Amino acid sequence: MATKADLTDWVVEALKANNGTASILFVAQHIWSHHEKELRESELFYSWQYDMRWAATELRKKGRLVSAEDDRRGKWTLK
């Protein structure tokens, strides 16, 4: 069953699939197209888009994403 922790990996996976940077919309679409089954089978089904943003914040805290202040609005970028 998918957990919030899986979303950090899925965000990184989505960004890598788009050369390290992508819009939030692209990330959401990528996660849905690659992990729909896991999402539907978990409690995340009702909160995964919110939790995806939580995952991005956690990745920023760990220094894996460019800070929101230093990135373009609506974009997430791997460091």
At 1-43, the pLDDT tens digits run: 899 999 999 999 999 999 999 999 999 999 999 999 999 999 9
Number of domains in the chain: 1
Phi, psi of 78 (to 5 degrees): -70, 150
Mean pLDDT of 38-58: 96
Mean pLDDT of 52-69: 96
CATH number at residue 15: 1.10.10
Can you give the residue range of the structural domain that contains 31?
A: 4-77
The two tokens of residue 54 are 């939580």
Nearest to 11 by CA among 70, 69, 78, 63: 78
Instruction: Specify the pLDDT at position 74.
Output: 85
Q: Which amino acid is at 36?
A: E
Distance CA 41, CA 66 (A): 31
Q: pLDDT class for 67, splitting at 50, 70, 90?
A: very high
Instruction: Specify the pLDDT at position 3.
Output: 92
CB 61 within 8 A of CB 14: no
